[in-house]
Structure 1
């Protein structure tokens, strides 16, 4: 059901996709979808969570191996490269779904809350990474950045909006975006 819903939401959008469409595509009854997820909003939220994580395991982002590898990187430059690689892996799966959620947020108050929660969660992850970066940097970060403002920079550079603009709209490869993101983070944050 999640795969069917993800495909339909990404192809047709929030408004045009119905629970009936998802049930038909998943070859299950409509009541099965409602019984499993409760609402269309809950279904899209589950699609989003699964896309971000890459699986249905209830493991927080910061407890996932790729995020631990970012924090545990031995040096600041390597950490930023790992951050960009981790963001690429997540965004390759999740950027289209995040775009659906962002679009749904404009018309639906509950989806707007899902979008705001996702933004806060992404900032929390970037703040944890930035705190690790501050500890590894040889001296202060560039231009007086502290962990909070470094997290803001990473949130903007590694966000689905920037990824979508460069990869989806402008046709960059994900590898080119990853290299650019790591380089830009390094230039913006390290002395």
Structure 2
């Protein structure tokens, strides 16, 4: 029994140490990707910034593309927990709240949070897509998931009796997808210089207009 307790304690300590090391590497990588872009950032630089051996970075993450994906994934949700955006509480509010206004407000909260945490990194991702097939596929997968969630949002609202029977679900889903997608965030950052706050005000105004058209 004592041996098992000791073994469990060692395993827990080891897991905590690995988590701390990975957190250091991810934080260092985020800083460097934002400072220098994807192409100009090397894993050896990340290791040096994180204060770990280069081999540690390679063992834990394998490739620069894999590390970048980890950085993006954590920025999207705001932490290292293995729970994607769609299953976070505020995203669930967007699917289940009592009124359409509450659902749209929750949807805006989720999207603006992503823009705030990950907007600058999404610009880096656009630069990296042309050079890294793994990142390009991950970005395309993200686009498909956003489109799917927008369709689910309006389908659920219709099922719950929150929409007029004349609403075109496909059209509303496509419009919402265009408002929420990462490409729109990046475009508005580049063309208008919008940070998350400006994007959020525009998004909420657009969603209110969409909700008024749904009645």
- TM above 0.5: yes
Q: Which has the larger radius of gyration?
A: 2
Unmatched 5+ stretches in structure 2: 1-24
Alignment coverage as a number of residue pairs:
188
Q: CA deviation at 1:43?
A: 0.3
Match of 1:159 in 2: 181
Unmatched 5+ stretches in structure 1: none
Alignment of 1:85-164 (within 5 A): 85-135=109-159, 136-140=161-165, 144-146=167-169, 148-164=170-186
Contact 1:126 / 1:155 at 8 angstroms: preserved in 2? yes
Q: Deviations over 1:14-69 (max 9, x none)?
A: 11011011111111111010011011111011111111111111113222111111
Alignment of 1:27-66 (within 5 A): 27-66=51-90
Q: CA deviation at 1:132?
A: 2.3
Q: CA deviation at 1:178?
A: 1.9
After superposing on structure 2, the runs of 4+ consecutive aligned residues of structure 1 that deviate more than 6 Å are none
Q: CA deviation at 1:145?
A: 2.2
- Between 1:102-111 and 1:125-134, the stretch displaced more is 125-134
- Between 1:31-40 and 1:127-136, the stretch displaced more is 127-136
Q: Distance in 2 between matches of 1:175 and 1:72?
A: 25
Coordinate RMSD, CA, aligned? 2.0
- Between 1:173-182 and 1:9-18, the stretch displaced more is 173-182
Contact 2:86 / 2:92 at 8 angstroms: preserved in 1? yes
